[in-house]
Amino acid sequence: MLPPKDAKVLVAMSGGVDSAVAASLLVDQGCECIGLTLRLVPEPGEKSVFEPCCGIEAADDARRVCDALGIPHEVLHAVDRFDRDIIDYFAAEYAAGRTPNPCVRCNRMIKFGALYQRANELGAAYVAMGHYARLERRGARWALRRAVHRPKDQSYVLAPLTQAQLRRAVFPLGAMTKEDVRARAARFDFRVARKRESQELCFVSDRDYARFLETRRVAATPGPILATDGRVLGQHKGLTHYTVGQRRGLGIAAEHPYYVVELDAKRNAVIVGPEEATYCARFETGRLCWGGIPPRDTPFACRTQIRSRHDAVPATVTPLAVPGSRVGARVALDAPQRSVTPGQWAVFYDDDDYVLAAAPILSFEPRAY
Protein backbone atom coordinates (compact mmCIF):
# COMPACT_ATOMS: atom_id res chain seq x y z
CA MET A 1 0.00 0.00 0.00
CA LEU A 2 1.38 3.39 -1.03
CA PRO A 3 0.03 6.80 0.01
CA PRO A 4 -2.09 8.76 -2.44
CA LYS A 5 -0.44 11.01 -4.98
CA ASP A 6 0.67 14.38 -3.57
CA ALA A 7 0.72 13.01 0.00
CA LYS A 8 3.52 14.42 2.15
CA VAL A 9 5.75 11.59 3.36
CA LEU A 10 8.69 11.61 5.74
CA VAL A 11 11.06 8.85 4.59
CA ALA A 12 13.49 7.38 7.11
CA MET A 13 16.83 7.23 5.28
CA SER A 14 19.42 4.90 6.79
CA GLY A 15 21.96 5.45 4.03
CA GLY A 16 21.35 1.91 2.78
CA VAL A 17 19.83 0.46 -0.36
CA ASP A 18 16.44 -0.41 1.15
CA SER A 19 15.49 3.07 2.28
CA ALA A 20 16.87 4.54 -0.98
CA VAL A 21 14.58 2.36 -3.06
CA ALA A 22 11.63 3.00 -0.74
CA ALA A 23 12.10 6.74 -1.32
CA SER A 24 12.38 6.29 -5.09
CA LEU A 25 9.12 4.32 -5.21
CA LEU A 26 7.31 7.06 -3.32
CA VAL A 27 8.74 9.77 -5.57
CA ASP A 28 7.52 7.81 -8.60
CA GLN A 29 4.10 7.60 -6.93
CA GLY A 30 4.00 11.40 -6.94
CA CYS A 31 4.40 11.88 -3.21
CA GLU A 32 6.03 14.93 -1.70
CA CYS A 33 8.94 13.26 0.09
CA ILE A 34 11.37 14.47 2.73
CA GLY A 35 14.33 12.26 3.58
CA LEU A 36 15.40 12.12 7.21
CA THR A 37 18.34 10.33 8.81
CA LEU A 38 18.45 9.64 12.52
CA ARG A 39 21.78 10.50 14.14
CA LEU A 40 22.19 8.12 17.05
CA VAL A 41 25.95 8.42 17.46
CA PRO A 42 28.26 11.02 18.99
CA GLU A 43 29.46 14.04 17.06
CA PRO A 44 32.50 13.87 14.75
CA GLY A 45 35.78 13.23 16.54
CA GLU A 46 34.24 11.18 19.34
CA LYS A 47 34.98 7.47 19.41
CA SER A 48 31.97 5.30 18.60
CA VAL A 49 31.34 1.56 18.26
CA PHE A 50 28.28 2.12 16.09
CA GLU A 51 27.74 0.65 12.65
CA PRO A 52 27.33 3.16 9.79
CA CYS A 53 23.51 2.76 9.80
CA CYS A 54 23.04 5.67 12.17
CA GLY A 55 26.21 7.71 11.94
CA ILE A 56 27.92 10.33 9.84
CA GLU A 57 28.59 8.08 6.83
CA ALA A 58 24.92 7.06 6.75
CA ALA A 59 23.79 10.67 6.70
CA ASP A 60 26.17 11.48 3.83
CA ASP A 61 24.99 8.49 1.78
CA ALA A 62 21.34 9.35 2.44
CA ARG A 63 21.88 12.96 1.41
CA ARG A 64 23.39 11.84 -1.91
CA VAL A 65 20.37 9.65 -2.59
CA CYS A 66 17.99 12.49 -1.78
CA ASP A 67 19.92 14.83 -4.09
CA ALA A 68 19.61 12.28 -6.89
CA LEU A 69 15.86 12.03 -6.29
CA GLY A 70 15.43 15.78 -6.00
CA ILE A 71 14.00 15.75 -2.50
CA PRO A 72 15.15 17.56 0.66
CA HIS A 73 17.11 15.79 3.35
CA GLU A 74 17.71 16.51 7.01
CA VAL A 75 19.32 14.89 10.03
CA LEU A 76 17.53 14.41 13.33
CA HIS A 77 19.78 14.12 16.38
CA ALA A 78 18.46 11.55 18.86
CA VAL A 79 21.68 10.55 20.64
CA ASP A 80 20.47 11.21 24.17
CA ARG A 81 17.08 9.63 23.59
CA PHE A 82 18.64 6.50 22.08
CA ASP A 83 21.11 6.25 24.94
CA ARG A 84 18.36 6.56 27.54
CA ASP A 85 15.55 4.50 26.00
CA ILE A 86 17.51 1.80 24.18
CA ILE A 87 21.05 1.35 25.49
CA ASP A 88 20.18 1.86 29.19
CA TYR A 89 17.29 -0.58 28.76
CA PHE A 90 19.59 -3.09 27.03
CA ALA A 91 22.08 -2.93 29.91
CA ALA A 92 19.38 -3.19 32.59
CA GLU A 93 17.82 -6.26 30.96
CA TYR A 94 21.14 -8.09 30.83
CA ALA A 95 21.85 -7.14 34.45
CA ALA A 96 18.51 -8.76 35.37
CA GLY A 97 19.43 -12.02 33.63
CA ARG A 98 17.31 -11.44 30.54
CA THR A 99 18.31 -11.34 26.87
CA PRO A 100 16.63 -8.29 25.29
CA ASN A 101 15.80 -7.48 21.67
CA PRO A 102 16.57 -3.74 21.48
CA CYS A 103 15.59 -3.53 17.78
CA VAL A 104 11.94 -4.17 18.66
CA ARG A 105 12.01 -1.40 21.26
CA CYS A 106 13.90 0.96 18.95
CA ASN A 107 11.32 0.60 16.19
CA ARG A 108 8.49 1.51 18.50
CA MET A 109 10.13 4.24 20.58
CA ILE A 110 12.74 5.80 18.28
CA LYS A 111 12.04 5.07 14.62
CA PHE A 112 8.28 5.34 15.04
CA GLY A 113 8.51 7.71 17.99
CA ALA A 114 11.00 10.48 17.29
CA LEU A 115 10.29 10.31 13.55
CA TYR A 116 6.55 10.75 14.09
CA GLN A 117 7.17 13.81 16.20
CA ARG A 118 9.24 15.31 13.40
CA ALA A 119 6.62 14.30 10.83
CA ASN A 120 4.01 16.24 12.80
CA GLU A 121 6.27 19.30 12.87
CA LEU A 122 6.74 19.08 9.09
CA GLY A 123 3.07 18.43 8.36
CA ALA A 124 3.80 14.98 6.89
CA ALA A 125 0.83 12.63 6.94
CA TYR A 126 2.94 9.45 6.56
CA VAL A 127 6.24 7.98 7.70
CA ALA A 128 7.91 5.48 5.35
CA MET A 129 10.52 2.85 6.15
CA GLY A 130 12.65 0.50 4.07
CA HIS A 131 11.54 -2.50 6.13
CA TYR A 132 10.35 -5.68 4.46
CA ALA A 133 6.79 -6.03 5.70
CA ARG A 134 3.27 -5.56 4.39
CA LEU A 135 0.57 -3.42 5.98
CA GLU A 136 -3.09 -4.00 5.26
CA ARG A 137 -6.47 -2.86 6.51
CA ARG A 138 -8.56 -5.59 8.17
CA GLY A 139 -11.96 -4.21 9.03
CA ALA A 140 -11.47 -1.41 11.52
CA ARG A 141 -7.84 -2.31 12.26
CA TRP A 142 -4.46 -2.10 10.58
CA ALA A 143 -2.45 -5.30 10.47
CA LEU A 144 1.14 -6.05 9.67
CA ARG A 145 1.73 -9.05 7.44
CA ARG A 146 4.90 -10.91 6.60
CA ALA A 147 6.77 -9.68 3.54
CA VAL A 148 6.40 -11.58 0.28
CA HIS A 149 10.14 -12.30 0.36
CA ARG A 150 10.24 -14.38 3.54
CA PRO A 151 14.05 -14.43 4.01
CA LYS A 152 13.96 -10.64 4.48
CA ASP A 153 10.70 -10.43 6.44
CA GLN A 154 10.91 -7.91 9.29
CA SER A 155 7.37 -8.05 10.63
CA TYR A 156 8.68 -9.64 13.85
CA VAL A 157 10.65 -6.53 14.90
CA LEU A 158 7.74 -4.26 13.90
CA ALA A 159 5.00 -6.28 15.60
CA PRO A 160 4.52 -4.08 18.73
CA LEU A 161 3.71 -0.94 16.71
CA THR A 162 0.43 0.62 17.83
CA GLN A 163 -2.63 1.21 15.69
CA ALA A 164 -1.88 4.94 15.75
CA GLN A 165 1.63 4.27 14.44
CA LEU A 166 0.49 1.78 11.79
CA ARG A 167 -2.21 4.13 10.53
CA ARG A 168 0.48 6.47 9.20
CA ALA A 169 3.16 3.90 8.32
CA VAL A 170 4.30 2.98 4.81
CA PHE A 171 6.41 -0.04 3.83
CA PRO A 172 6.99 0.21 0.06
CA LEU A 173 9.22 -2.90 -0.10
CA GLY A 174 6.74 -5.42 1.28
CA ALA A 175 6.15 -7.13 -2.07
CA MET A 176 9.75 -6.97 -3.34
CA THR A 177 12.74 -9.29 -3.06
CA LYS A 178 16.18 -8.07 -2.08
CA GLU A 179 17.32 -8.77 -5.64
CA ASP A 180 14.49 -6.56 -6.97
CA VAL A 181 15.58 -3.78 -4.63
CA ARG A 182 19.24 -3.91 -5.61
CA ALA A 183 18.33 -4.02 -9.32
CA ARG A 184 16.17 -0.91 -8.97
CA ALA A 185 18.90 0.89 -7.04
CA ALA A 186 21.41 0.03 -9.76
CA ARG A 187 19.13 1.56 -12.42
CA PHE A 188 19.15 4.78 -10.44
CA ASP A 189 22.93 4.48 -10.19
CA PHE A 190 22.68 4.69 -6.41
CA ARG A 191 26.08 3.95 -4.91
CA VAL A 192 24.28 2.23 -2.06
CA ALA A 193 23.13 -0.57 -4.41
CA ARG A 194 26.31 -2.49 -3.53
CA LYS A 195 26.50 -1.46 0.11
CA ARG A 196 26.86 -4.32 2.55
CA GLU A 197 24.18 -5.02 5.12
CA SER A 198 24.74 -4.90 8.84
CA GLN A 199 23.52 -7.99 10.70
CA GLU A 200 24.52 -6.96 14.22
CA LEU A 201 23.28 -4.51 16.81
CA CYS A 202 24.26 -1.04 15.70
CA PHE A 203 25.85 -0.26 19.07
CA VAL A 204 27.64 -3.63 19.57
CA SER A 205 29.05 -4.25 16.12
CA ASP A 206 31.71 -6.73 17.33
CA ARG A 207 29.12 -8.93 19.15
CA ASP A 208 31.12 -8.65 22.39
CA TYR A 209 28.13 -7.85 24.56
CA ALA A 210 29.96 -8.46 27.84
CA ARG A 211 32.69 -5.96 26.94
CA PHE A 212 30.11 -3.38 25.90
CA LEU A 213 28.09 -3.89 29.07
CA GLU A 214 31.18 -3.24 31.15
CA THR A 215 31.35 0.21 29.54
CA ARG A 216 27.78 0.71 30.85
CA ARG A 217 28.88 -0.29 34.36
CA VAL A 218 27.13 -3.66 34.32
CA ALA A 219 29.52 -5.79 36.32
CA ALA A 220 30.32 -9.29 35.11
CA THR A 221 30.37 -10.91 38.56
CA PRO A 222 31.52 -14.56 38.62
CA GLY A 223 29.24 -17.11 40.24
CA PRO A 224 28.30 -20.79 40.26
CA ILE A 225 27.32 -22.93 37.30
CA LEU A 226 24.66 -25.27 38.65
CA ALA A 227 23.21 -28.44 37.22
CA THR A 228 19.42 -28.64 37.21
CA ASP A 229 19.64 -30.91 40.26
CA GLY A 230 21.61 -28.26 42.19
CA ARG A 231 25.12 -29.69 41.83
CA VAL A 232 27.91 -27.15 41.40
CA LEU A 233 29.67 -27.86 38.10
CA GLY A 234 31.96 -24.86 37.87
CA GLN A 235 32.19 -21.09 37.91
CA HIS A 236 30.83 -18.69 35.30
CA LYS A 237 32.43 -15.39 34.21
CA GLY A 238 29.30 -13.28 34.81
CA LEU A 239 25.70 -13.62 33.62
CA THR A 240 26.31 -11.14 30.80
CA HIS A 241 28.47 -13.75 29.02
CA TYR A 242 25.57 -16.23 28.65
CA THR A 243 22.13 -16.68 27.16
CA VAL A 244 19.49 -19.40 27.30
CA GLY A 245 20.27 -22.27 24.95
CA GLN A 246 24.01 -21.56 24.80
CA ARG A 247 26.30 -24.59 24.56
CA ARG A 248 29.78 -23.31 23.75
CA GLY A 249 32.02 -21.43 26.13
CA LEU A 250 30.70 -22.93 29.38
CA GLY A 251 34.08 -24.34 30.42
CA ILE A 252 32.58 -27.54 31.83
CA ALA A 253 34.29 -30.89 31.26
CA ALA A 254 31.57 -33.53 31.03
CA GLU A 255 30.74 -36.74 29.21
CA HIS A 256 27.68 -35.14 27.62
CA PRO A 257 27.25 -31.51 26.48
CA TYR A 258 25.54 -29.03 28.75
CA TYR A 259 23.31 -26.16 27.65
CA VAL A 260 22.24 -23.02 29.48
CA VAL A 261 18.72 -23.62 30.77
CA GLU A 262 18.21 -20.50 32.87
CA LEU A 263 19.98 -17.39 34.15
CA ASP A 264 19.16 -16.93 37.83
CA ALA A 265 19.94 -13.28 38.61
CA LYS A 266 18.90 -13.60 42.27
CA ARG A 267 21.52 -16.28 42.93
CA ASN A 268 23.90 -15.00 40.24
CA ALA A 269 23.86 -18.55 38.90
CA VAL A 270 23.91 -20.11 35.45
CA ILE A 271 21.68 -23.19 35.39
CA VAL A 272 22.71 -25.84 32.86
CA GLY A 273 21.36 -29.19 31.76
CA PRO A 274 21.07 -31.59 28.85
CA GLU A 275 19.62 -30.30 25.58
CA GLU A 276 16.17 -31.68 26.35
CA ALA A 277 16.06 -29.42 29.43
CA THR A 278 16.16 -26.32 27.17
CA TYR A 279 12.72 -27.15 25.74
CA CYS A 280 9.51 -25.79 27.19
CA ALA A 281 5.88 -25.72 26.14
CA ARG A 282 4.47 -22.90 28.27
CA PHE A 283 5.50 -19.35 29.06
CA GLU A 284 4.10 -16.06 30.32
CA THR A 285 4.32 -12.68 28.62
CA GLY A 286 4.17 -9.04 29.58
CA ARG A 287 1.51 -6.65 28.33
CA LEU A 288 0.02 -7.58 24.97
CA CYS A 289 0.38 -5.18 22.05
CA TRP A 290 -2.67 -5.86 19.89
CA GLY A 291 -2.32 -5.86 16.12
CA GLY A 292 -4.74 -7.37 13.60
CA ILE A 293 -7.31 -8.27 16.25
CA PRO A 294 -8.78 -5.97 18.92
CA PRO A 295 -8.05 -6.57 22.62
CA ARG A 296 -9.84 -9.64 23.96
CA ASP A 297 -9.95 -11.73 27.11
CA THR A 298 -10.67 -15.10 25.48
CA PRO A 299 -8.05 -17.59 24.21
CA PHE A 300 -7.08 -17.63 20.56
CA ALA A 301 -5.13 -20.03 18.37
CA CYS A 302 -2.17 -18.73 16.42
CA ARG A 303 1.35 -19.43 15.21
CA THR A 304 3.92 -18.10 17.68
CA GLN A 305 7.42 -16.85 16.85
CA ILE A 306 9.66 -16.60 19.92
CA ARG A 307 12.76 -14.89 18.46
CA SER A 308 13.83 -13.22 15.24
CA ARG A 309 15.25 -16.40 13.69
CA HIS A 310 12.56 -18.88 14.66
CA ASP A 311 9.89 -20.56 12.56
CA ALA A 312 6.50 -19.82 14.10
CA VAL A 313 4.74 -22.82 15.62
CA PRO A 314 1.08 -23.51 16.55
CA ALA A 315 0.06 -22.31 20.00
CA THR A 316 -2.86 -21.11 22.12
CA VAL A 317 -2.68 -17.69 23.77
CA THR A 318 -4.79 -16.99 26.86
CA PRO A 319 -4.95 -13.24 27.64
CA LEU A 320 -5.03 -12.34 31.32
CA ALA A 321 -6.61 -9.30 32.92
CA VAL A 322 -5.35 -9.44 36.51
CA PRO A 323 -5.15 -6.03 38.27
CA GLY A 324 -1.60 -5.26 39.30
CA SER A 325 -0.13 -8.23 37.45
CA ARG A 326 2.76 -7.87 35.02
CA VAL A 327 1.55 -10.92 33.12
CA GLY A 328 -0.31 -10.22 29.90
CA ALA A 329 -0.89 -13.74 28.62
CA ARG A 330 -0.11 -17.39 29.10
CA VAL A 331 1.06 -19.18 25.97
CA ALA A 332 0.78 -22.94 25.44
CA LEU A 333 2.85 -24.23 22.53
CA ASP A 334 1.53 -27.30 20.73
CA ALA A 335 5.07 -28.71 20.65
CA PRO A 336 7.85 -27.78 23.11
CA GLN A 337 10.38 -25.32 21.71
CA ARG A 338 14.04 -24.85 22.50
CA SER A 339 15.36 -21.74 24.24
CA VAL A 340 12.27 -19.74 25.14
CA THR A 341 14.16 -16.72 26.43
CA PRO A 342 12.93 -14.03 28.86
CA GLY A 343 13.53 -10.60 27.34
CA GLN A 344 12.80 -11.71 23.78
CA TRP A 345 9.43 -11.07 22.13
CA ALA A 346 6.68 -13.50 21.24
CA VAL A 347 4.79 -12.52 18.09
CA PHE A 348 1.48 -14.17 17.31
CA TYR A 349 0.51 -14.68 13.64
CA ASP A 350 -2.51 -16.24 11.99
CA ASP A 351 -2.25 -18.82 9.20
CA ASP A 352 -2.23 -16.03 6.59
CA ASP A 353 0.86 -14.38 8.14
CA TYR A 354 -0.95 -11.41 9.73
CA VAL A 355 0.35 -10.18 13.10
CA LEU A 356 -2.43 -10.64 15.66
CA ALA A 357 -0.53 -9.44 18.74
CA ALA A 358 2.90 -9.37 20.37
CA ALA A 359 4.34 -9.31 23.88
CA PRO A 360 7.68 -9.60 25.69
CA ILE A 361 8.48 -12.99 27.22
CA LEU A 362 8.59 -12.72 31.02
CA SER A 363 9.15 -16.25 32.25
CA PHE A 364 8.83 -19.84 31.13
CA GLU A 365 7.80 -23.14 32.63
CA PRO A 366 10.79 -25.44 32.24
CA ARG A 367 10.33 -28.97 31.10
CA ALA A 368 10.57 -31.48 33.97
CA TYR A 369 14.24 -32.29 34.46
Catalytic amino acids? 106, 202
SS (H, E, C) the chain: CCCCCCCEEEEECCCCHHHHHHHHHHHHHCCEEEEEEEECCCCCCCCCCCCHHHCHHHHHHHHHHHHHHCCCEEEEECHHHHHHHHHHHHHHHHHCCCCCCHHHHHHHHHHHHHHHHHHHHHCCCEEECCCCEEEEEECCEEEEEECCCHHHCCHHHHCCCCHHHHCCEECCCCCCCHHHHHHHHHHCCCHHHHCCCCCCCCCCCCCCHHHHHHHCCCCCCCEEEEECCCCEEEEECCHHHCCCCCCCCCCCCCCCCCEEEEEECCCCEEEEECHHHHEEEEEEECCCEECCCCCCCCCEEEEEECCCCCCCEEEEEEECCCCCCCCCEEEEEEEEEECCCECEEEEEECCCCEEEEEEEEEEEEECCC
